[in-house]
């Protein structure tokens, strides 16, 4: 029986962006069933007592290191990247849009939105930008994203992440039991999926 691989993510995390670019290939190599699990990282951080943007709490030397580390990861993974001028970004609206979309359109929106923020420095909380990222039927999707059921779905997803011990993004969870944090843990995730 195939393993399940849940990927907990938020558009606000550069490491989740990097991990998202590798997830489909990882699942294909291992035969795992990949399940995308959006969550509101700021809500998760508040629930566990973490600052909303941990990088902003780091001492200057560590901040410089992390900024260079992000560039290294982008180069290593060969993905476009430019640290955004609007950081941290409030991502509740694009996450709700993601949930409001039909399942068949979510992947493309997720990819476009990650790239818009982490490579193109676009304001993904802006309705105009979201319309462009959504494409067809954007007004209907934006309206649906404000419905109580969608809001509750994102809250429940974030609460679920907290309840299973997620503390950052990306977090990979194998068979709803074994947790790995970070895009740099992909080799360990792949090894565990091979067992």
Share of the chain above pLDDT 70, in %: 100
The rounded distance, in Å, linking the Cα atoms of 80 and 119 is 5
pLDDT at 51 over 90: no
**Please, are residues 114 and 79 in contact by the beta-carbon 8 Å criterion?**
no
CATH number, domain with residue 56: 3.40.30.10
| Largest Cα span, the chain | 48
- List CB contacts of 25: < 8 A, sequence separation 6 or more: none
The rounded distance, in Å, linking the Cα atoms of 129 and 46 is 27
pLDDT at 21 over 90: yes
pLDDT at residue 195, as a whole number: 83
Share of the chain above pLDDT 90, in %: 95
Question: Whole domain around residue 79: which residue ranges?
Answer: 4-193
Name the domain count of the chain: 1
pLDDT at 53 over 90: no
pLDDT digits (tens, 9 = 90+) for 120-165: 999 999 999 999 999 999 999 999 999 999 999 999 999 999 999 9
Place of tokens 């930008």: 129
Identify the DSSP state of 190: H
Query: Distance of CA 163 to CAs 9, 45, 157, 171, Å?
Result: 15, 13, 10, 13
Closest CA to 141 of 131, 132, 149: 131
């Amino acid at each position: 029986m195939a393993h399940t691989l849940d990927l907990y993510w938020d558009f606000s995390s550069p490491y989740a962006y990097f991990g998202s670019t590798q997830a489909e290939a990882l699942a294909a190599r291992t035969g795992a069933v990949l399940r995308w699990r959006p969550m509101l990282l700021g809500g998760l951080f508040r629930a566990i007592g973490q600052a909303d943007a941990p990088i902003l709490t780091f001492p200057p030397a560590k901040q410089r290191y992390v900024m260079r580390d992000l560039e290294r990861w982008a180069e290593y993974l060969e993905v476009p990247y430019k640290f955004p001028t609007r950081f941290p970004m409030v991502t509740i609206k694009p996450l709700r849009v993601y949930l409001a979309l039909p399942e068949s359109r979510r992947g493309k929106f997720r990819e476009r939105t990650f790239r818009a923020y982490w490579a193109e420095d676009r304001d993904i909380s802006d309705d105009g930008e979201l319309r462009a990222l959504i494409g067809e039927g954007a007004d209907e999707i934006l309206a649906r994203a404000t419905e109580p059921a969608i809001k509750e779905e994102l809250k429940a997803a974030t609460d679920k992440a907290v309840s299973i011990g997620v503390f950052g993004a990306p977090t990979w969870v194998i068979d709803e039991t074994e947790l790995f944090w970070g895009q740099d843990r992909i080799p360990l995730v792949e090894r565990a999926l091979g067992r």
